[in-house]
Amino acid sequence: MREMVKRHALIRRLASVETLGSASVICSDKTGTLTENQMTVTKVHVVSEAAYEVEGTGYSPVGNILSGDKEVLLDEHEDLAKLIHAGVLCSNATLVEEDGYSVIGDPTEGALVVLGRKASIDRKSLEAHGFTRIGELPFNSRDKYMVTAYTDKSGSNRLYIKGASDILIGLSKSPDAVSRSLTGANDALADQGLRVLAIGEIDDYTGDGSEQSIREAMEAGFTLLGLVGIIDPPREDVKEAIREAREAGIRVIMITGDHPKTAKIIAGRIGMDQSGEVITGAMMDDMSTEELAEKILVTSIFARVSPENKLQIVHALNADHEVTAMTGDGVNDAPALNGADIGIAMGIRGTEVAKEASDMILTDDRFSTIVDAVREGRVIFDNIEKFIYFLFSCNFIEIMVIFAAIVLRVPMPILALQILWLNLVVDVLPAMSLAWEPGEPGVMKRKPRDPQKAIVTRSFLIKVLGNGALIGLGTFAAFVISLWSGMDETIARTIAFSTLAFGQLLHIFNVREKESFGFDKSLLKNPFLLLSLALSAVLQLLVIYLPFFNRVMETAPLNAGHWLFVLAGSCIPLALIQLWRIVGSRRKTV
């Protein structure tokens, strides 16, 4: 869990760690998770069909507005000035300068505020010179636009509108020629991967600023002033994270409120699968869960999506028996976060409601953190499996040795107190240290684990019983040969006891890695294992050579010749287990 926190993933429900390792689909919001969430207006298209470039990046209000290669003077471009003026007044974000520039509020609004500052238009300055806000219709996922109502210095009332370009173009009462021109400009900007907002106004508003009067005015018609194209660059690490997720057998689904064309362009830039059609929220509204479940098998991009649509996506993926991780940050995302197998809230921009509904919180809001968390989930489950594998094997070894002695009617190779020593002293520390194993190199190269699949499967039991039988056979052989060589029974039993102890300690290298021998440089990444092995070995030597333990444990000191029996009895089974693995892996590749 500490490793999760180091990787900026805060786990709220412990059971979700296991679920993370089984995740087969990650549904991620585009803005702020797949992208930097640093919005910058780079293109402006006004109704007069004039197009402008905007210089600068991020939230720094430095940069010129260009028409062709020439810097624009707003006094000479009235349509541009009106659009920027309306965009600034239809925003609530604030630009602050503290160790660089940042935005308090919505990043998209922040882009409009920065555009205004580049043109020397500022909301606070306008409000100080006679513009008074008298009402507001906040943005919501159903309408996909926002409206503010102002009284200007002459006493006239105005409405300023901004929102999804295709929605506002469809709602406006603009002439067909203007609508066609703006639709073409909208498509052209979306083809460049830009988020496109339409900005409009009503300059003869007669209402009182109430929601009802604003809606009535909107229904009566409004004037579109133009479009702005906003860039939100993908995070630098997201392309690699998506590639890693795909190699791990995990589908990545992008969910955005942007235009479908913008969504598809961004998906291509970050390496997502674009083979299926882009499904919009409006299309989902007309689909049943069964229809969406069929479509979602070949679709990875969802645009113009509402929080209600996100819940539809979760239900469709549940119908397809996928293990789904869903991201969210808003209050309305809570049902989708609750419905997903793993709800993931944003730690920086997420609401408290979203965090409470989630299973995991990203403290850095990055998509790559989700992939890191999936990897850690797989590692944690692997380590639990290794712990069980090691202890089951060790217990079966002891059972087998005693059973063989009873069947063949030879003296007991190990005594009850020696078994207790093995279980409580020799085995426990290495087994517990497996919790700190760093994870195998191929952990993100295999498909997600079936959550319905038990740990103790047929293949798992075959592995445990097979390994245990070989190690037990080595111990029993060392004991019997020692007796046949004429050694004292106490010496022979000490040899068997030591062979069993060191055979089990060496067995940890079989357990560490599923496909190879675990004695490699990755061992240095788990100092707890090295310490536990050393401590267990020292304690075992004390039992053999200290007179007090000789009396209590009925052991005897061993000489160099005796240690040859111990070495052979513990190392030969180790070699046979590795040979078994090599043969098994070759059969799989044939």
Catalytic residues: 29
In whole angstroms, what is the distance from residue 252 CA to residue 590 CA? 32
For residue 441, give the nearest of 501, 367, 521 by alpha carbon: 521
Half-sphere exposure of 520 (CA within 13 A, CB side): 13
Q: Is 276 helix (H, G, I), strand (E, B) or coil?
A: coil
Place of tokens 């060790």: 394
Length of the chain in terms of residues written: 590
R_g (Cα) of the chain, nearest Å: 34
Structure letter (DSSP) for residue 249: T
Q: Which residues of 150-178 are buried (b: 16+ CB within 10 A; e: fewer)?
A: bbeeeeebbbbbbbbbbebbebbebeeeb
User: Which ranges in 409-488 belong to alpha helices (H)?
Assistant: 416-421, 428-433, 458-484
For residue 110, give the nearest of 90, 127, 95, 120 by alpha carbon: 95
Structure letter (DSSP) for residue 143: T
In whole angstroms, what is the distance from residue 397 CA to residue 419 CA? 11
Question: Which residues on neighbouring strands pair with residue 255, listed in sequence order?
Answer: 29, 302
For residue 192, give the nearest of 244, 263, 265 by alpha carbon: 265
Of the chain, the end-to-end C-alpha distance in Å amounts to: 39
In whole angstroms, what is the distance from residue 313 CA to residue 296 CA? 8
For residue 20, give the nearest of 6, 9, 8, 28 by alpha carbon: 9
For residue 371, give the nearest of 245, 269, 252, 251 by alpha carbon: 245
Listed as own residue / partner, the contacts of 480-487 with beta carbons closer than 8 Å and 24 or more positions apart are 480/410, 481/565, 482/562, 482/565, 483/410, 483/411, 487/562
Residue 371 burial (10 A CB sphere; 0-12, 13-18, 19+): buried
Q: In sequence order, what are the residues at sequence separation of 6 or more whose Cβ sits closer than 8 angstroms to the Cβ of residue 315? A: 289, 292, 339
Residue 210 · residue 190 · CB < 8 Å: no
In whole angstroms, what is the distance from residue 388 CA to residue 131 CA? 71
Reduced DSSP (H G I as helix, E B as strand, rest coil) percent helix, strand, coil of the chain, to 5: 55, 15, 30
In whole angstroms, what is the distance from residue 122 CA to residue 252 CA? 40
For residue 482, give the nearest of 473, 465, 472, 495 by alpha carbon: 495
Region of 223 (left: φ > 0; alpha: ψ -120 to 50; beta: rest) is beta
